[in-house]
Amino acid sequence: MTTSTATATGMPAVRPYESYVYAYPHKTAYRPLPERPALRELWAAEPKSALSLYLHIPFCEVRCGFCNLFTRIGAPEELTTRYLDALDRQAVAVRDALGDDEPVRFAAAAFGGGTPTFLTADELERLCDIAEKRMGADLLAVPLSVETSPSTATADRLAVLADRGATRVSIGVQSFVDAEARAAVRPQRRAEVEAALGRIRDARIPVLNIDLIYGIDGQTERTWLTSLDAALAWRPEELYLYPLYVRPLTGLHRLGAAATGPDAEAVEQAAWDEQRLRLYAVGRDHLLAHGYEQVSMRMFRRADAPRESQDGPEDYACQTDGMIGLGCGARSYTAALHYSFDYAVNMGEIRSIIDGFTATEDFSRAEVGRYVDAAEARRRHLLQSLLQAAGLPLDDYRARFGTDPREDFPAELARFADRGWLDAGAPEGILRLSPLGLAHSDALGPALFSPGVRAAMAAYERK
């Protein structure tokens, strides 16, 4: 594994870790919508036979040092009750906006956060009721994915999830090495993690996913393999391997040492990139050798594991149109508009947004978002497909847009090919990344952002 594209191609070096592209356009490109369009109008012409449903719970017991997700620590003064009350009101308004002109059906559901299992068992029952009784999602008939943490994966909560139809539980472990967990500002002990994994397996939920992080301060190939082998001992159906990022306004960013100058900072960054690329390759090869298949740069699935979906991009499934998000931090996608509530990373700002959400009575309009035109839709489809190891079937793209991606994005694809990021040996009709390209997914994804989205992201004021 080379640490720089320059060594492989003679082109200028590219930083391999610019940004994790889990949604496009990025939420920092969203802006308040002056016209506050009515949801009923936004969804009037949308297909409703295979919608995705996402419910966001913005609470955690602690906030990890690397986390920039929309979540707050704790929920004092019955805040979870007030939040679920507001979520219920929002669900009623959204379901009403979908109308009854055609059948409304959900093909998948997910509870994320934050930590959904921060809620008590009774509160999780209510969350499921909101999804089923208010939105009409049949949780026993569709894939249901739920995120959890070692401290909140209790037997009573897991029993509720299993009874209500959860097919996948994803637990953020990050490291089985206690010293590395502390370095990532994640207070946990391996014994607590192992106990939680045992409870998840006892609940007999079909798919277990374990999240691990590489690039932690002090982490070595040996300790990385220790975490990988500890995870593999549970034979998880899925594993996600995440490179560590230190983002503005996070705990690790606040704890970071002051830079000693631009040259020293560049040297330090290059060394960290080297470490993460090396550990990525070690992790990838280790999992492939243990019977896992690579779905994307981050996602690995046991070859004999059940599949949640037989078609469509899996690691970026939330990118599909027909996505309904409920709660603070949740995005909704129609073909023409992506919308949400306001976004923040700073804890004070997050608390203010959550308080505003719980006080809201009228959820019938979109407040914050970004319109997606035909050019952006092409870009998004190329991006979300190309970041999958399976690649993009050209016929699928032509059928959807009537054009060829090589004609729509000649400069970008030529640049990727020159860097060795495209697989020259891919089957006819498939555009996919090479192993080097997959390793550089976090550089390739942002390189596909449109100038308009880049400008909006650059103008975003962090809060």
pLDDT at 308: 60
Residue 188's nearest CA partner among 148, 150, 231, 237 is 150
Least confident range from 250-254, 395-399, 419-423: namely 250-254
Domain limit, last residue, from 317, 347, 382: 317
Selected residue with higher pLDDT from 254 and 232: 232
Residue 214's nearest CA partner among 170, 267, 278, 257 is 278
pLDDT at 320: 65
**Do both 190 and 289 map to the same domain?**
yes
Residue 124 pLDDT greater than 70, yes or no? yes
Residue 332 pLDDT greater than 80, yes or no? yes
**Do both 447 and 309 map to the same domain?**
no
**Do both 222 and 109 map to the same domain?**
yes
Residue 459's nearest CA partner among 31, 17, 51, 62 is 31
**Which residues constitute the domain of residue 418?**
1-24+374-463
**Do both 144 and 106 map to the same domain?**
yes
| Residue 41's CATH number | 3.30.750.200
What does the block give as tokens for 390?
A: 């399976």
pLDDT at 414: 98
Is 366 a member of any domain? no
Residue 426 DSSP code: P
**Do both 19 and 30 map to the same domain?**
no
Residue 381's nearest CA partner among 364, 404, 359 is 404
Residue-wise pLDDT tens digits, 102-119: 899 999 999 998 899 999
Least confident range from 153-157, 224-228, 345-349, 415-419: namely 345-349
> 145 and 167 in contact (C-beta within 8 Å)?
yes
The count of domains in the chain is 2
Q: What is the mean pLDDT of residues 26-31?
A: 92
pLDDT at 210: 98
Selected residue with higher pLDDT from 191 and 308: 191
pLDDT at 64: 55
**Do both 75 and 191 map to the same domain?**
yes
pLDDT band, residue 256 (cuts 50/70/90): low
pLDDT at 235: 98
Using CB atoms within 10 A of its CB, is residue 365 exposed (0-12), middle (13-18) or buried (19+)? middle
Residues 6+ apart with CB under 8 A from 40: 96, 97, 99, 364
Is 340 a member of any domain? no
Domain limit, last residue, from 283, 299, 317: 317
Domain limit, last residue, from 281, 297, 317: 317
Q: Give the Cα separation of 207 and 113 in Å (integer).
A: 19
What does the block give as tokens for 435?
A: 């192993």
**Do both 303 and 253 map to the same domain?**
yes
**Do both 406 and 308 map to the same domain?**
no
Residue 8 pLDDT greater than 90, yes or no? no
Q: What is the mean pLDDT of residues 394-400?
A: 95
pLDDT at 461: 85
| Residue 6's CATH number | 1.10.10
**Do both 45 and 2 map to the same domain?**
no
Residue 437 pLDDT greater than 90, yes or no? yes
What does the block give as tokens for 43?
A: 């969804």
Q: What is the mean pLDDT of residues 325-354?
A: 88
Going by DSSP bridges, is the β-strand pair 238-243/292-294 parallel, antiparallel, or unpaired?
A: unpaired
Is 154 a member of any domain? yes
pTM of the entire structure?
0.91
Q: What is the mean pLDDT of residues 225-252?
A: 85
Residue-wise pLDDT tens digits, 205-214: 999 999 999 9
pLDDT at 318: 45
Is 336 a member of any domain? no
Residue-wise pLDDT tens digits, 32-81: 999 999 999 999 999 999 999 999 999 887 665 555 566 677 788 899 99
pLDDT at 247: 54
Least confident range from 9-13, 130-134, 219-223, 235-239: namely 9-13
Residue-wise pLDDT tens digits, 179-201: 999 888 777 899 999 999 999 99
> What DSSP line would sit under 419-449, residue for residue?
TT-B-TTPPTTEE-B-HHHHHTHHHHHHHT-
> 386 and 421 in contact (C-beta within 8 Å)?
no
Is 347 a member of any domain? no
Residue 378 pLDDT greater than 90, yes or no? yes
Q: What is the mean pLDDT of residues 440-447?
A: 96
Q: What is the mean pLDDT of residues 247-267?
A: 49
**Do both 96 and 239 map to the same domain?**
yes
**Do both 13 and 29 map to the same domain?**
no
Is 353 a member of any domain? no
Residue 312 pLDDT greater than 60, yes or no? no
Is 141 a member of any domain? yes
Residue type, 50: A
Q: What is the mean pLDDT of the chain?
A: 89
Residue given tokens 């590219």 in the structure block: 14
Residue-wise pLDDT tens digits, 162-173: 999 999 999 999
Q: What separation in angstroms does the CA of 250 have from each of 60, 275, 414, 435, 459?
A: 15, 21, 36, 31, 20
